[in-house]
Amino acid sequence: MLKMIEATSLQDMIELLLWKVGVQYLGLDGEKSSDGFDLSADPQLLYACKVDVWRYKREASPNVRGPPALVCNFSQLEEKLQAGYKATTAGKFSEALRHFVAILQTIPFIVVESRREVDEVKELIIIVKEYVLGLQMELKRKELTDNPVRQQELAAYFTHCKLQLPHRRLALLNAMTVCYKAQNLSTAAHFARELLETNPAAENQAKKARQVLQAAERNMRDVTPLNYDFRNPFVVCGSTYTPLYRGQKDVTCPYCSAHFVPSQKEQLCTVCELAEVGADASGLVCSTSQIR
Ligand SMILES: [Zn+2]
């Protein structure tokens, strides 16, 4: 599943496991467990590894019931998710990004009971992946003050990330404003219409959108061409931040499912920073209900 279980990442992960449990138990040597298992080969072994630590913990404190101490539970991730949303709303994008990346990097440690929870964990990966990609693009956009074309493109792609409605409105408002300033009125009008379709509760958002539409109606054209066609469905490459339109070849991250241009194959996924792009994988194992 995850190349993260390789080399230094493995060491880091195991150290984290050990740190959480507070014992030296697994006796891992490099990539191999003490039993000679190559953890990078099989996600079920990682799961077994989690369970082993769990069992050890139980044996060490037989009277302690409930979930294993090492395992991050789902409600902790929920809290992090809410913190990420809150920071996004406040425009604190670097902070928000830290929360979302932390969720992606914590999920491999999670152990849940039921199939339903497994589905929730998988859903959470997808939700968070969209935010990480979107915020990475938005932070990149802010660095590119001398490149208005690229700024418009990144702002446009951000609106295609699956975000909570208030955040989608912010992305649309932003893209509309950036394109309007660059005199790309036709594209700005597209974002204005999208924004109005969300029925923004904030009157100033609706007002701005109507003003942009009025201005665009008098002069419906773009001054500079953009690599952006909203009529043609696409996903955004997590590394080059360019659109991959339907029918174009791409490769995906086996863990977070981010898409990439084919040249990114075998590179570390820049969204989750855990898995190898294009690697063949069986998926995250976080519950015995998946193994039984
Ligand atoms: Zn990934």
Contact of 3 with 281, CB cutoff 8 Å:
no
Kindly give the distance from the C-alpha atom of residue 147 to the centroid of ligand 1, in angstroms, as a whole number.
Answer: 28
CA distance 162 to 8: 32
Kindly give the distance from the C-alpha atom of residue 179 to the centroid of ligand 1, in angstroms, as a whole number.
Answer: 30
pLDDT in tens, the chain (292 residues): 333 344 344 555 555 444 433 323 333 333 334 444 444 444 444 555 555 555 554 555 555 444 444 456 778 889 999 999 999 999 999 999 999 999 998 887 777 778 888 899 899 999 999 999 999 999 999 999 899 999 999 999 999 999 999 999 999 999 999 999 999 999 999 999 999 999 998 899 999 999 999 999 998 999 999 999 999 999 999 999 999 998 999 999 988 999 999 999 989 999 998 888 988 765 666 776 766 5
Kindly give the distance from the C-alpha atom of residue 245 to the centroid of ligand 1, in angstroms, as a whole number.
Answer: 20
Query: Could you please report the per-residue DSSP string of 28-92?
Result: -BTTB-TT--BGGG-HHHHHHHHHHHHHHHHHHSTT--SS-TTSPPHHHHHHHHHHHHHHHHTT-
Kindly give the distance from the C-alpha atom of residue 62 to the centroid of ligand 1, in angstroms, as a whole number.
Answer: 38
Kindly give the distance from the C-alpha atom of residue 104 to the centroid of ligand 1, in angstroms, as a whole number.
Answer: 9
CA atoms within 13 Å, Cβ hemisphere of 143: 7
Kindly give the distance from the C-alpha atom of residue 229 to the centroid of ligand 1, in angstroms, as a whole number.
Answer: 25
Kindly give the distance from the C-alpha atom of residue 236 to the centroid of ligand 1, in angstroms, as a whole number.
Answer: 13
Kindly give the distance from the C-alpha atom of residue 4 to the centroid of ligand 1, in angstroms, as a whole number.
Answer: 10
Place of tokens 């507070």: 22
Beta bridge partners of 260: 251
Kindly give the distance from the C-alpha atom of residue 202 to the centroid of ligand 1, in angstroms, as a whole number.
Answer: 35
99-136 b/e with 16+ CB inside 10 Å = b? bbbebbbebbbbbbeeeebbeebeebbebbbbbbbbbb
β-strand pairing of 251-252 with 259-260 = antiparallel
